[in-house]
Structure formats: C-alpha cells, structure tokens
C-alpha cells in the first residue's frame, strides 16, 4: 500500500510537472509572439522614420539648391548691379616758391573726398564721380550708356574726351603739362561711341555739345569750379594772367559742338611685350554767349609701350584756338583761373618701372620719371616744362605718390603756362589716398 501510494504520488507529481512545463512553453510562445509583434511595430516605425528622414533630406537638398541659386543670383546681381566706391586723400608739399611754406617746413592739407558709382541697371550702364574739396565741389563724370553690340558701346553725359595716351599720359600725381591746357583727362558733356580692342585696334568717336558746366552761359556761380581744364575766356593785352574773364567788361568764351576721334593699334613683339600706337584729333567752335567767336582744334601722335615691368609713353601734338586779334586765352579749374597761348606745340616722354613686392601690406612700387613741355607759343612767352621723378606705393586700400617736381612756367609749381620766367621751381609732394 505504501509503495502504491508512493507510485501514485510520483505519478501525480510528474503530471503536475508536465502541466507546469506546458504552461511555461505556452507563456514563452505568447511572449515570443508578443516580441514578434513588437519587432514588426518597431520595423514599421523604423521604416516610417526612414521615409520621414528621406523626405527631410529631400527638403534640405531642395533648400540647398534654392540657396545656391539665390547666392548665384545675388552674385550675378552684385556683379551686374550698381557699385559704389570712393577715396579720401591728403597732401603734403614743400616748395621753393613760397617763403612761408619753406619757413613752416611745408604744409599738410586735406586734398579731396570723392564718391564713385559704376555698373548697370537692366542693361543700362552707368558711371559717375563727384569730388569734394574744401573750397569747391566738382563733378568729374556722370554718364549713362548701352552696349548695343559685342564691340560697340555708347555713353551719354559728362564723359571723358578721347585724346592722347589712355587712360593718362603720365604716372605721377600732377599729370603732364598737357593736362593744364585741357588735353589730358578732360571731361565734357556729350555722346561717345567706344569700340573695344578687337582685331588689334580700337576706336573712340565723340560729339561734345559743350563743357561739363554748360558752356559759356552755364548756370554756375564760378566757371573755375571744375575738375578738368577748359577755355573760359579770351585775354586782352592789359589783362592779368590770373584774372576772372567773366567779370564786367570781361571776354567770356566757351567750347561747343566739338567732334573728337581717337584711333589706336596694338601689337605684341615678344612675351610680356605690347605696344599701342595711336592718333587723336578734335575740332570744335568757340562761342562768346551771343555769337560764334572762333574755332579750335588739336591733334596728337602717341605711343604707349609695355615691355615686361617697363612702361614707356611718348606723345607729340599741337593745339590751336582761332580767335581774331587774340593770342592768349583764359582757362579755369580747381577754383583758379590761368592763361595759355592760343596755339602751341606739346611733347612728352615718360618712363616707369613696376616692382611687385611683399612688404607687409605693400604689394607694388612704381618708379617713374615723366617729362613734358609746351613750346612754340603764339604769345611768344617762355617755354613751359615739367619733370616729375617719383614713386607710387600700393598698400591695400592705400595708394601714395611721392613726387619731386622741377618745372618752369608751370601751374601749381610756382608759375603759369603763360608765364615768362627763367627760374626753375621745385616742389616735393606726398599725396596719400585711401580708396574704398
């Protein structure tokens, strides 16, 4: 009985254990099923997240593309839009012709503050420059233009008169003697047709109605308040060299209906060597405010040659103002009036050598010697000549001229183009400009 009871107990225990194992397996299967369901849910969530991330990536790519296009558009707009710039310049001078200046050890003065604008708006080209001095304000240029073919451009307004070596017949701060008779960097009111350099040649043609201040009867208070030199009157025999020709009893004159042309041919003669040979001419009328008072013309042959680091400029020409019973005329600029002979010969010879350097901010030095002369004058006065030896220094936004000027009968160097002095004057000049 006891054995039977033990057997029955064992049988019951085994059945219970088997039932427990079965229950555990069912529970494990249920957990596994639950885990599988959770895995499926996680996989679905992961797929949804991947799809969402892919959409975000697509949106980011589209935004990047849009930003890149906007950046490109902005860059193109900046390149083709309006650009502003300018300069602030100061000047130190030590001269031989002013005892006060020598006694003070020279003078340091404000020179100019200028603003420039350039670019295009909707295909219309623009350019302009205004200069503020402590004694006057002057507009150097102000024009609108259009590029109507690949090679040809038209400009209308106050624009540069094409004449002589371009852009300047000089390397120094004072230009050449030609500038003081209106034959270098002159600007007048008119229309210009410019052909860019193509097939080795270039052509500029212009018609200028009058000077930049409106001609002989322009509505300005002072006809000497201008950047470039123009005729403003005729001189009588007893009239002072620096007198205002517009005062009562004076003889005002003005240029009008002037035709100009400049042709240049370019050729290369070795690696790093290029030379421009050209011819310039102009012709126009003179008006006294009531009637035509005469005519004027000028011509020049010019050469501008770059040989590696060297630049050589040559120019020779003549100008002639045809006015009855007059051999001296008045010109004006920079708040001053001066006098010049009605006709004369001009010549210049300039040499410069550029040296790229790496001295802190200094990137380039240009050493130069510019010589120019005005002679064979109709008023029989002594020759005018000016020699400028110097160096210009480029350093970031700073550009500085160091000039030692020797001259005779030269404006702003102790004399006048119509002067008759045999004294050679000296001026040491430093012009410091910050350009932005």
pLDDT of res. 372? 98
Q: Contact at 8 Å (CB) between 284 and 296?
A: yes
- Rounded mean pLDDT, 52-65: 57
As a whole number of angstroms, the distance between CA 390 and CA 375 comes to: 24
Which of 33-37, 100-104, 113-117, 127-131 is the least confident region?
33-37
pLDDT at 389 over 50: yes
- Rounded mean pLDDT, 223-237: 94
Q: What is the enclosing helix (H) or strand (E) of 321?
A: strand 310-323
Q: Contact at 8 Å (CB) between 323 and 329?
A: yes
- Rounded mean pLDDT, 54-61: 58
Q: Contact at 8 Å (CB) between 191 and 152?
A: no
Supply the DSSP symbol for 252.
B
pLDDT of res. 246? 72
User: What count of residues does the chain have?
Assistant: 436
pLDDT of res. 37? 75
**Token representation of residue 418:** 């119509």
Supply the DSSP symbol for 381.
P
Residues 6+ apart with CB under 8 A from 125: 119, 144, 145, 146, 147, 153, 155
pTM for the structure as a whole: 0.81
CA atoms within 13 A on the CB side of 258: 33
The radius of gyration computed from the CA coordinates of the chain, to the nearest angstrom, equals: 40
Q: What's the farthest any 2 CA atoms get from each other in the chain? A: 168
As a whole number of angstroms, the distance between CA 51 and CA 320 comes to: 85
3-state SS, 66-115, equals HHHHHHHHHHHHHHHCEEEEEEEEEEEEEECCCHHHHHHCCEEEEEEEEE
Residue with tokens 């130069």, as numbered in its chain: 368
pLDDT at 394 over 70: yes
Quick one: 11 exposed, middle or buried, by C-beta within 10 A (0-12, 13-18, 19+)? Answer: exposed
pLDDT at 300 over 70: yes
Q: Is the dihedral of CA 418, 419, 423, 424 positive or negative?
A: negative
As a whole number of angstroms, the distance between CA 315 and CA 346 comes to: 8
- Rounded mean pLDDT, 43-71: 59
Q: Contact at 8 Å (CB) between 340 and 239?
A: no
Coil/strand/helix, residue 318? strand
Q: Is the dihedral of CA 103, 385, 286, 263 positive or negative?
A: negative
pLDDT at 386 over 90: yes
3-state SS, 214-231, equals CCCCCCCCCCCCCCCCEE
pLDDT of res. 77? 42
Q: Contact at 8 Å (CB) between 235 and 146?
A: no
Quick one: 92 exposed, middle or buried, by C-beta within 10 A (0-12, 13-18, 19+)? Answer: middle
Residue 149: φ, ψ to 5°: -140, 175
Which of 39-43, 87-91, 121-125, 152-156 is the least confident region?
39-43
Q: In what order do the strands lie in the sheet with 336-341?
A: 230-234, 328-333, 336-341
Q: Contact at 8 Å (CB) between 177 and 410?
A: yes
pLDDT of res. 15? 47
Proportion of the chain above pLDDT 70, given as a percent? 85
pLDDT of res. 87? 98
Bond prior to 167 in cis (omega within 30° of 0): yes
pLDDT tens profile 138-174:
999 999 999 999 999 999 999 999 999 999 999 999 9
Averaged confidence pLDDT in the chain? 89
């Amino acid at each position: 009985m006891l054995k039977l009871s033990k057997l029955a107990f064992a049988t019951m225990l085994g059945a219970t254990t088997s039932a427990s194992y079965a229950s555990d397996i069912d529970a494990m299967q249920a957990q596994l099923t639950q885990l599988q369901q959770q895995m499926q849910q996680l996989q679905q969530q992961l797929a949804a997240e991947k799809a969402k991330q892919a959409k975000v990536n697509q949106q980011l790519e589209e935004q990047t593309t849009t930003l890149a296009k906007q950046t490109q558009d902005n860059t193109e707009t900046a390149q083709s839009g309006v650009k502003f710039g300018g300069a602030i310049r100061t000047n130190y001078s030590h001269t031989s012709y002013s005892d006060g200046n020598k006694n003070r050890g020279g003078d340091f003065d404000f020179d100019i503050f200028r603003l420039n604008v350039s670019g295009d708006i909707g295909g219309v080209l623009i350019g302009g420059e205004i200069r503020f001095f402590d004694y006057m304000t002057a507009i150097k240029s102000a024009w609108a233009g259009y590029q109507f073919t690949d090679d040809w451009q038209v400009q209308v307004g106050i624009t540069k008169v094409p004449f002589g070596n371009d852009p300047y017949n000089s390397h120094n701060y004072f230009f050449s003697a030609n500038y003081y008779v209106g034959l270098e960097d002159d600007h007048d009111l008119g229309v210009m047709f410019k052909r860019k350099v193509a097939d080795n040649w270039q052509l500029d043609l212009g018609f200028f109605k009058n000077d930049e201040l409106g001609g002989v009867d322009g509505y300005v208070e002072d006809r000497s308040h201008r950047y470039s030199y123009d005729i403003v009157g005729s001189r009588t025999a007893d009239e002072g060299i620096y007198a205002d020709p517009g005062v009562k009893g004076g003889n005002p004159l003005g240029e009008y209906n002037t035709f100009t042309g400049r042709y240049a041919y370019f050729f290369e003669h070795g690696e790093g060597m290029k030379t421009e040979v050209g011819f310039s001419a102009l012709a126009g009328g003179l008006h006294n405010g009531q009637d035509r008072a005469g005519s004027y013309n000028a011509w020049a042959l010019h050469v501008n040659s770059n040989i590696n680091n060297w630049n050589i400029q040559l120019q020779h020409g003549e100008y002639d103002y045809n006015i009855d019973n007059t051999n001296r005329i008045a010109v004006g600029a920079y708040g001053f009036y001066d006098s010049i002979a009605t006709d004369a010969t001009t010549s210049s010879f300039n040499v410069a050598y550029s040296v790229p350097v790496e001295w802190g901010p200094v990137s380039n030095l240009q050493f130069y010697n510019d010589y120019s002369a005005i002679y064979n004058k109709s008023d029989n006065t002594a020759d005018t000549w000016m020699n400028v030896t110097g160096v210009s220094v480029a350093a970031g936004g700073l550009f500085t001229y160091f000039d030692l000027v020797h001259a005779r009968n030269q404006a702003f160097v102790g004399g006048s183009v119509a002067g008759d002095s045999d004294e050679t004057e000296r001026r040491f000049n430093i012009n410091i400009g910050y350009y932005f």
